[in-house]
Amino acid sequence: MSIAHFSFPTTIHFGAGARKLAGAHLRDHGFRRPLIVTDRALARLPVLAEFMTHLRTGLDVGVFSGVFGNPTASQVTDGADAYRTHRADCVIGFGGGAALDVAKVVALMAVHDGHVLEYAWDHPQVRAITNELPYFIALPTTSGTGSEVGRSSVVSEDDTHLKRIVFSPKLLARVVFADPELTLALPPAVTAATGMDALTHNVESYLSPAYHPLADGIALEGARIAARALAAAVREPGNLAARSDMMMASMMGAIAFQKDLGAVHSCAHALGAVCDLHHGLANALMIEPVMRFNHEAVPAKFAELAHVVGAGSGEAFVPWLAGLKREIAVAPGLSAVGVKREQIARLVEIAQKDICHQTNPRRCTAADFTRFFEQAM
What does 179-234 look like in DSSP terms, one character per residue?
Answer: -GGGGTT--HHHHHHHHHHHHHHHHHHHHS-S--HHHHHHHHHHHHHHHHHHHHHH
Question: How distant, in Å, are the alpha carbons of 43, 86, 125, 156, 183 from that of 82?
Answer: 15, 6, 27, 20, 27
Q: Where in the chain is the domain with CATH 3.40.50.1970?
A: 11-183
At residue 149, the pLDDT reads 94
Task: Evaluate if residue 30 carries a pLDDT over 80.
Answer: yes
Q: Is 56 exposed, middle or buried, given 0-12, 13-18 or 19+ CB atoms closer than 10 A? A: exposed
Non-local (6+) Cβ contacts of 61 within 8 A are: 33, 34, 35, 36, 52, 55
Please give the CATH number for the structural domain made up of 11-183: 3.40.50.1970
pLDDT tens by residue, 129-187: 999 999 999 999 999 999 999 989 999 899 888 888 899 999 999 999 999 999 999 99
pLDDT tens by residue, 205-245: 999 999 999 999 999 999 999 999 999 999 999 999 999 99
Confidence of residue 56 (pLDDT cuts 50, 70, 90): confident
Looking at residue 138, its amino acid is A
Q: Are 189 and 226 in contact (CB under 8 A)?
A: no
Confidence of residue 5 (pLDDT cuts 50, 70, 90): low
Non-local (6+) Cβ contacts of 362 within 8 A are: 293, 294, 296, 297, 298
Supply the mean pLDDT for the chain. 94
Q: Which H or E element spans position 80?
A: helix 73-86
The strand pairing partners of 182, in sequence order, are none
Question: How distant, in Å, are the alpha carbons of 86, 287, 375 from that of 266?
Answer: 38, 11, 16
CA distance 203 to 197: 10
Confidence of residue 3 (pLDDT cuts 50, 70, 90): low
Q: Where in the chain is the domain with CATH 1.20.1090.10?
A: 188-376
Q: Are 240 and 331 in contact (CB under 8 A)?
A: no
Q: Which H or E element spans position 98?
A: helix 97-110
Sign of CA dihedral 56, 40, 66, 138: positive
Task: Look at strands 135-140 and 175-178 and give their pairing.
Answer: parallel
CA distance 246 to 240: 10
CATH: 1.20.140.10, 3.40.50.300, 2.30.42.10, 1.20.1090.10. Which one for 188-376? 1.20.1090.10
Question: How distant, in Å, are the alpha carbons of 192, 285, 301 from that of 325?
Answer: 8, 9, 21
Task: Evaluate if residue 256 carries a pLDDT over 60.
Answer: yes
Selected residue with higher pLDDT from 218 and 8: 218
Q: Are 192 and 284 in contact (CB under 8 A)?
A: yes
Q: Are 141 and 250 in contact (CB under 8 A)?
A: no
Q: Are 214 and 256 in contact (CB under 8 A)?
A: no
pTM: 0.93
Q: Which of 194, 199, 191, 352 is closest to 287 using CA atoms?
A: 199
| Residue 142, SS3 per DSSP | coil
- Other beta carbons less than 10 A from residue 170's beta carbon: 16
